[in-house]
Amino acid sequence: MKRLAPFDPVLLTCVLSMLAASLLMVASSSMSISAVRYGDAWRIIGHWAVYVPIGLLLMWWVSRIETDWWRAMVMPLLGLSLLLMALVLIPGIGMEINGARRWYSLLGLTLQPVELLKPVVVIYMAYYMAAFPERMKYFSSGLAPMLVVLGVAVVLLLLQPDFGSSALLVALCVSMWFVGGVPLRHLMLMVGSVLPVGMVIMLAEPYRVKRFLSFIDPWADPLGSGYQLLQSMVAFGVGGVNGAGLGQGVQKLFYLPEPFTDFISAVIGEELGMPGMFALILLFGVLLMRGMQLARRSGEVFQRLVVVGCVTLLGTTFFINLGAAMGVMPTKGMPMPLMSYGGSALFGSCILLGLIFSVQRHQPQNMQRSSRKELREAKA
Amino acid sequence: MNGAAKPTPDVAIIGMGRTGCSVARFLQVRHIPYIAFDEKMKELPDDLTGELHRGMLSGDKLKAFKRLVVSPGIPWHHPALEAARVAGVELIGDLDFFHEYYHGELFAVTGTNGKSTVVHLLGQILEVLAGGVEIGGNIGTPMLDMLARPDHSPRAVLELSSFQLERCQGIHPRWAALLNIQPDHADMHVDMAEYEAAKLRLFGKQGYGDIAVLPADEHWNDAAWNLGERGVHVRRFGTVAHSGEADAGLMGEPGARRIFWHAADKVHEIPSDQVRVRGEHQHINLAIVAQGAADAGVSPTVIVEALSAFPGLDHRLFYVGQVAGKAWYDDSKATNPDAALAAMNSFDKVIWVCGGLTKGLSPMSMLPAVQQHVQLALVIGVDAKPFVAMLEESGVNYRVATHLEEAVMQAAHSSLDLPVLLSPAAASQDQFRDYAERGRHFCTAVAALEKKP
């Protein structure tokens, strides 16, 4: 068996630092709430301390799988994940929470099949564009089949309903198609036709409109739809430039709903101030940049596209979360990758990172250079 | 009625009590045909035009329907219902109908004791919000009658019993509170676990953004955890040392307790001696109401005012007055030992009027509290034996009275200068129609004392 290259040190350092910071911040933001709600200050952080190693194990395991295996298994995987997405809609199989069926309840864990669907869609799109580059010129044999797959996935998501994940999936595919060489006019045509549909879907549900509007003017309903955002902004404000100090924040106590999940960046902003936020964005920025570098360095188109897709997904989720917490984007229930508490989302992120590492670790040794200098020397 | 044979209706209503009738009325307004079943009723009230089947329920007859709406009084595991269930008939309660047709915000309250107080006062406070509020459920307006008016409010406060919850497929309250669980109605359910499971159905459909209110004691930690994992905002209430240990409840030392709750911007509190109702259990109920009102967006000033002015509900530790040199309290609603215990703990020393139909609940659990608070006990009712046994063991002075009026006379003539508390720790059906009648008799007897000093 071929010896695998070691994990890319830069990317691995970013991932481990994010997760370490996450353990710290989830602990800081959850302990008082956990004590009041569940009678045990350690309950949330205790669970998180178990989830994180499991996530890392999952990442390690995915990274060992050869990229050829993904390519060969793409259709069964797509079938499986779409089947799971369909089954979750059936009462009695999928768990209904708040009028939405998105979850499976398994061994005390709440798992969201969409977290499996996301990497599989990345793999499928990469496979298709890499396998048939000559078809990309034509709409019917190029973009159309991929559109069908995306369409099925989006319809299943909207049936749950999960508008946020559908939008994320559409954004992911559009960027992958752009990178993969789908003609711009096809993309324009598609975006031009999907956008109005998306608007209609959004306007059809009053709560989405409410959520959307609350980000523009949270003061209109400070105790209702604007509440979370205002509390989040208060947290950033209280933190100021220097931050209140680790563990010293007060917004997390009762004011900010779910400070350890979607709004964890507000706690970071309050407790660690501007340096903390800069460090967070820098860390994630390096992670994304490094991912893109690794994409460029990988030999095959399929591998490149897989990595680009994974990086796009992680990056988009990160910035949507951050934007929502700071009030520059609509409040969307989307956790911050590698930082927010939540099993499903962590495992999803770990699969994406595992895919990136899988591509990187299966590169031939001479492609494993880490510095530009080495790369130049290798070329010379 | 003559001419072509009518098709069999899809819906049958089982049990034509108050709830059953409200279901029938509701269906009638919507022109949905139904057949009513009742084992005792002779004929339907005048305003109902449906067909009534009398006599024993039989599975064979019920199998023909698609949906059975089962009233709270009918045992959920009645053999005829079981037979229908096995045959694939859908069994629902009136709550499901309500949930299907009502599209406002729901505030739901369940628990063994204190529901009515919480629902009543919370409803009163939410009235200040635009559009007002509907109050109903287990007591007051049957839920479906609330829907009869076309202009119903955008929010409703519901008092739900475990029977209603048990026979309900899905309810999704935005704000739901479970006050406490004690073995009272447990005899109608198979066991405590089932009773508890029924109560927890209240939260079954809740998710991200909803609020669940649970007691702070350890027993509910796991239930709270499961809700929290689904994104439900869990609030816990109880008696704590300071406000950081719970979301709402009582804090501070005994004697200087403060009622507190969390609103958007900070902790709010009022001293518990500033409110008119007595007893720590009642004060905790007020804290829960305050929390619910705050969660609905009512301003703290309105909440404080409403809490201080609330006089309590009839027969729930209601202050009757100062008569014959003694203060008299009517807590006829206390139909189980736990409720009576809560009332007793609101006093230092009392003359206690107790007894009635024990429904198999032994008053022995009250022994320590009785020794601590009771100077003289007056036992009424047919089930005097368990109370006498308990009082014998406690060493507290007691007398057995044949009826309530005699007990009131004895209390009035006692030389003890103490408040008199009617908190029977037993059901009333041996001598009265219900606890309200028992309470009214008590108040009348007390008032009569004044005329003959």
Mean pLDDT of chain B: 85
Contact between B256 and B271 (Cβ < 8 Å): yes
Q: What is the mean pLDDT of residues B199-211?
A: 86
Percent of chain B having pLDDT more than 90?
25
| pLDDT for A211 | 67
Task: Produce one character per residue of B286-296: b if its CB has 16 or more CB atoms within 10 Å, e if not.
Answer: bbbbbbbbbbb
pLDDT at residue A180 greater than cutoff 50: yes
Res. B2 pLDDT band, cuts 50 70 90: very low
Among B262, B316, B287, smallest CA distance to B122 is for B287
Q: Is the dihedral of CA A165, A217, B304, B106 positive or negative?
A: negative
Query: Which residues of chain B are within 8 Å of residue A40 when distances are taken between CB atoms?
Result: 221
Q: Is the dihedral of CA B281, B283, B284, B285 positive or negative?
A: positive
- Residue A329's domain spans which residues? 15-64+222-364
| pLDDT for B102 | 85
pLDDT at residue B256 greater than cutoff 70: yes
Q: What is the mean pLDDT of residues A287-299?
A: 91
Q: Is the dihedral of CA A83, A85, A87, A93 positive or negative?
A: positive
Cβ of A43 and B209 within 8 Å?
A: no
Mean pLDDT of chain A: 87
Q: What is the mean pLDDT of residues A142-162?
A: 90
Q: Residue B374 corresponds to which amino acid? A: V
- Hey, is the C-beta of B360 within 8 angstroms of any chain A C-beta? no
Query: Which of A158, A178, A204 is where one domain is finished?
Result: A204
pLDDT at residue B187 greater than cutoff 60: no
pLDDT at residue B360 greater than cutoff 70: yes
Q: In this complex, which of A39, A223, A258 lies closest to B297 when CB atoms are compared?
A: A223
Q: Which fold has domain B318-451?
A: Protein-Tyrosine Phosphatase; Chain A (3.90.190)
Query: Which residues of chain A are within 8 Å of residue B245 when distances are taken between CB atoms?
Result: 35-36
B114 φ, ψ (degrees, to nearest 5)? 95, -5
Q: What is the mean pLDDT of residues B122-133?
A: 90
The whole-angstrom separation of Cα A255 and Cα B247 is 11
Domain shared by A58 and A84, yes or no: no
- Hey, is the C-beta of A253 within 8 angstroms of any chain B C-beta? yes
| pLDDT for B189 | 54
| Size (chain A), residues | 380
| pLDDT for A373 | 61
Position of tokens 């905002």? B233
pLDDT at residue B153 greater than cutoff 70: yes
| pLDDT for A380 | 59
Q: Is the peptide bond before A161 cis (omega within 30 degrees of 0)?
A: yes
| pLDDT for A186 | 87
Tens digits of residue pLDDT in A80-94: 999 999 999 988 788
Contact between A371 and A78 (Cβ < 8 Å): no
Q: What is the mean pLDDT of residues A29-42?
A: 88
Domain shared by A184 and A296, yes or no: no
Flag whether A276 is in a domain: yes
Domain ranges of chain B: 11-92, 96-309, 318-451
Cβ of A43 and B262 within 8 Å?
A: no
| pLDDT for B195 | 79
| The CA-based dihedral angle spanning residues A147, A150, A152, A157, taken in that order and rounded to the nearest 10 degrees | -150
Q: What is the mean pLDDT of residues B342-368?
A: 87
Which of A129-138, A233-242, B146-155 shows the lowest mean pLDDT across its residues?
A: B146-155
More confident residue, B99 or B149: B99
Flag whether A376 is in a domain: no
Which of A364-373, B99-108, B272-281, B309-318 shows the lowest mean pLDDT across its residues?
A: A364-373
Cβ neighbors of A45 (< 8 A, separation 6 or more) are A23, A26, A27, A30, A31, A34
For chain A, the domain total comes to 2
Domain shared by A78 and A132, yes or no: yes
The whole-angstrom separation of Cα B249 and Cα A176 is 54
Domain shared by A115 and A29, yes or no: no
Cα distances from B197 to residues A140, B181, B192, in angstroms, run 55, 11, 8
Res. A27 pLDDT band, cuts 50 70 90: very high
Question: Closest chain A residue to B234 measured between Cα atoms?
Answer: A37
The whole-angstrom separation of Cα A21 and Cα B327 is 63
Query: Which residues of chain A are within 8 Å of residue B235 when distances are taken between CB atoms?
Result: 37
B11 φ, ψ (degrees, to nearest 5)? -110, 135
Q: What is the mean pLDDT of residues A261-280?
A: 91
Flag whether A369 is in a domain: no
Res. B259 pLDDT band, cuts 50 70 90: very high
Flag whether A346 is in a domain: yes
- The architecture of the domain spanning B11-92 is 3-Layer(aba) Sandwich (3.40)
Res. B53 pLDDT band, cuts 50 70 90: confident
Highest mean pLDDT among A240-249, A323-332, B435-444: B435-444
- Hey, is the C-beta of A162 within 8 angstroms of any chain B C-beta? no
| Nearest CA distance, B241 vs chain A (angstrom) | 13
Res. B297 pLDDT band, cuts 50 70 90: confident
Domain shared by A262 and A349, yes or no: yes
pLDDT at residue B59 greater than cutoff 60: yes
Taking one residue from A and the other from B, the number of pairs with CB-CB distance under 8 angstroms is 67
The whole-angstrom separation of Cα A222 and Cα A255 is 12
Flag whether A372 is in a domain: no
pLDDT at residue B133 greater than cutoff 60: yes
Which of A50-59, A287-296, A316-325, B341-350 shows the lowest mean pLDDT across its residues?
A: B341-350
Q: What is the mean pLDDT of residues B263-286?
A: 85
- Locate all alpha helices (DSSP H) within chain A, ordered by sequence: 9-38, 43-64, 67-87, 114-131, 144-159, 163-180, 184-204, 206-216, 227-239, 264-297, 301-326, 343-361, 372-379
| pLDDT for B352 | 93
Contact between B182 and B219 (Cβ < 8 Å): no
- Hey, is the C-beta of B348 within 8 angstroms of any chain A C-beta? no
| β B420-422/B233-240 pair status | unpaired
Domain shared by A60 and A80, yes or no: no
Q: What is the mean pLDDT of residues B27-42?
A: 85
CB atoms within 10 A of CB A202: 15
| pLDDT for A366 | 62
The whole-angstrom separation of Cα A198 and Cα A164 is 11
Contact between A182 and A190 (Cβ < 8 Å): no
Domain shared by A227 and A356, yes or no: yes
- Hey, is the C-beta of B201 within 8 angstroms of any chain A C-beta? no
Domain shared by A29 and A150, yes or no: no
Query: Which residues of chain A are within 8 Å of residue B169 when distances are taken between CB atoms?
Result: none
Res. B139 pLDDT band, cuts 50 70 90: low
| pLDDT for B280 | 85
Q: In this complex, which of A32, A227, A333 lies closest to B208 when CB atoms are compared?
A: A333
Q: What is the mean pLDDT of residues A157-172?
A: 89
Domain shared by A98 and A173, yes or no: yes
| pLDDT for B76 | 82
pLDDT at residue A202 greater than cutoff 50: yes
Question: Closest chain B residue to A96 measured between Cα atoms?
Answer: B205
Domain shared by A152 and A231, yes or no: no
Three-class secondary structure assignment of B247-262: CEEEECCCCCCEEEEE
Q: Which CATH class is domain B96-309?
A: alpha beta
pLDDT at residue B208 greater than cutoff 70: yes
Domain shared by A246 and A159, yes or no: no
More confident residue, A107 or A259: A259
Q: In this complex, which of A43, A98, A231 lies closest to B207 when CB atoms are compared?
A: A98
CA max distance for chain B: 78
Res. B403 pLDDT band, cuts 50 70 90: confident
Paired residues of B11 in beta bridges: B34, B67
Lookup: tokens for A194:
């999907």
Highest mean pLDDT among A55-59, A181-185, B36-40: A55-59
Cβ of B208 and A36 within 8 Å?
A: no
Lookup: tokens for B250:
């009582």
pLDDT at residue A317 greater than cutoff 70: yes
Task: Produce one character per residue of B315-328: b if its CB has 16 or more CB atoms within 10 Å, e if not.
Answer: bbbbebeebbebeb
Domain shared by A186 and A95, yes or no: yes
Percent of chain A having pLDDT more than 90?
46
